[in-house]
Amino acid sequence: MEKIDILFNKYDAEVLKIGAEATIYKIFWKGIPLIVKKRRIKNYRHPKIDYEIRLSRTLHEAKLLLYSKKLGVKCPAVLFIDRINTALIMQFINGNRLRELIPYLSNEEISRISFLIGEYVAKLHKGNIVHGDLTTSNMIIDNNKDVVFIDYGLGAFTNEIEEKAVDIHLFMRTLESSHYNFLKNILENFFKGYEKILGKDFTQEILKKVEEIRLRGRYISLRKKKI
């Protein structure tokens, strides 16, 4: 495959998202839609160190995507790694973000999707991977009505239950802030799917850890108010 700078020169690149670390583009290569995630240069860092950081994070994310697929979790396929420009060229997923879809889905469909999300998160955790940014904005419902996880930029390999609980805690906070009316249905079915893969004992253990994290957050908030 051609280098990304050549691709940009030959084809129109549509900017889909500008994040803190990277810019996401949609391009077409020989008529095929692709996603490019290009990590941007940070001028406040030494050029050599900056490049090494960007390359390390790019390779790390590619590895997380590869291993997620091996675990049976739907995510974009990495087609090419541009080491020079610290960019990933990935499969474009046809579909819509779950965040925008939820208000238009039936309760039955929300239950089905939530169960599936629970299964996929459990598969990641069982394989010692945390996504790092489990929000409904990072989940696409594709044309087959399956859930595809995107944006592993904050993901990690870990066997720590605390980090797995943080993954779930973030997901719960997203639901509370953006999908409160559907919270009960989503969480109930999410944990059913999670338990199907990891069993009742582990699910109860991680729920206990999630509650500990939530209590710590409340304590810190109260302390700040008093100060």
- Through-space distance between the first and last CA atoms of the chain, rounded to whole angstroms: 57
Cα gap 131→154, rounded to integer Å: 7
Contact indicator for 146, 181 with CB cutoff of 8 Å: no
Q: Which amino acid is at 117?
A: I
Nearest to 168 by CA among 117, 218, 127: 117
Q: Tokens 């803190």 correspond to what residue?
A: 20
Q: Say if CB 65 and CB 75 are below 8 A apart.
A: yes
CA dihedral 75, 89, 136, 146 (to 10 degrees): -30
- Token couple for 106: 């039936």
| H-only helix segments in 45-182 | 47-70, 98-101, 107-126, 161-178
The set of catalytic residues is 133
Query: What is the rounded distance in angstroms from the CA atom of residue 61 to the CA atom of residue 63?
Result: 5
Q: Is 151 helix (H, G, I), strand (E, B) or coil?
A: coil
Are the CB atoms for 116 and 193 separated by under 8 Å? yes
